[in-house]
Amino acid sequence: MIAAEFKQRKGTGIVEFSIKGHSGYSESGSDIVCAAVSSAAYMAANTITDVIGAKPEIDLSDGFLVLKLSLQDALKCSVITEGLKLHVLALSEQYQDFIKVKISEV
């Protein structure tokens, strides 16, 4: 199962997101659920770093991505991170047995 977590701060937006695990929907290489979540997360991370120019802390390995933003960068990146959150939430509604989303205030 994929576990996605979004940590948000009132007045600032999302300051951290993490995507962990594999969905188990299908075999590796043909898993559309993993592909959808991974593609969205990478697009968000690349937009944050390469388009907006933010300097987040990133921890990345197979089946694991954590991106942490400074408060200033969180404000600049809020449209991207909110879009990612909405996209992953929509996927989790469609694939309830394969994606779990947690949203917390920090």
Tokens of 47: 């937009």
Measure the CA–CA gap between 88 and 72, rounded to whole angstroms. 24
CATH topology of domain 2-105: Alpha-Beta Plaits (3.30.70)
Tokens of 66: 């954590």
How do the domains of the chain map onto residue ranges? 2-105
Q: Is the pTM of this model over 0.85?
A: yes
Query: Could you list the pLDDT tens digit for every one of the 106 residues in the chain?
Result: 999 999 999 989 999 999 999 999 999 889 999 999 999 999 999 999 999 999 999 999 988 999 999 999 999 999 999 999 999 999 999 999 999 999 999 9
Cα angle 36-17-100, degrees, rounded to a multiple of 5? 55
DSSP 50: I
